[in-house]
Amino acid sequence: MAHHRLRERGEPPSKILASPGVVVESPYRDLVVLITGAGSGIGAATARYLGAREARVALVGRDPDNIGQVAAEIAAGGRRALAVRGDVTSAADMARAVQDTVAAFGRLDAAVANAGTQLHLADRPIHDLDLAAWDRTQDVNSRGVLLTAQAAVRQMLVQGTGGALVLTASVVALSGVAAQNPAYTASKGAVLALGRSIGVQYAKQGIRCNVVCPGSLEQTPDFEDVADPVGRVRARSAIIPMGRLGLFEELAPMIAFLCGPESSYATGGVFVVDGGMTAI
């Protein structure tokens, strides 16, 4: 069985030439990855992408039907997937999610702290901001990422073979593009800073941590929470050099790359996938 192994210091990466007659093994084969917020959006797209490339995926979410459906799709393709019901704001739930993953697959190689929320209508400029919206946003987006990372790092330290964390932030952490949503902006700024901190703190233990900052993406059904969803999509598309919103599936390869062995020298990094929006 293939197993992800960290290279020794100074050891060169393996070089595989894709030539006729040579079978190139998926870099994600047998990689054990836990993903939060895996029932929809970026999380579901990443789970499907990794599952199709022979990773073993644990899908964590609050809605058992959603994560169960995605897990079933992956399993239908002959791959292994585990659905774990859990709330990222609960330390006990996240510890159990990691335990269930290890019980099912034998170890944990990578974790994607992806679950998040954006309360479009309640998250208003600070002079008019309901603190309940602030608290709920920080609870899911900041605390939830912390608890996911904490549970994963604890397991990786026990294993002693390193690992990878990927935290989902947003381009709002890099610029004022969502000034009307200060709670969301602040929460994603916290995720970015936390990711850099973790990446440095555990580098010597071989545990890498990187942050992905998506730009404006296609939306899940809860996008109706905004006052004018159609107008918002049109306005967002107009300021993106590529002229459109991104797809969830366009984030999955980046996240998978940062989970796998091919990104073995990347830690504490911030990777932007936004159609060029923050480049202007």
Evaluate the CA torsion angle 140, 142, 143, 148 in order and state its sign.
Answer: positive
Burial of 70 (0-12, 13-18, 19+ CB in 10 A): buried
The closest of 92, 86, 95 to 154, measured between CA atoms, is: 95
184 in active site: yes
Determine phi and psi for 251, rounding to 5 degrees.
-90, -30
- Distant-in-sequence, close-in-space partners of 140: CB < 8 Å, separation ≥ 6: 88, 89, 115, 116, 117, 187
Angstrom distance (rounded) from CA 45 to CA 100: 22
- For the chain, the 3-state helix, strand and coil shares in percent, each to the nearest 5, are 45, 15, 40
The one catalytic residue in 28, 49, 184, 202 is 184
Catalytic residue positions, numbered: 184
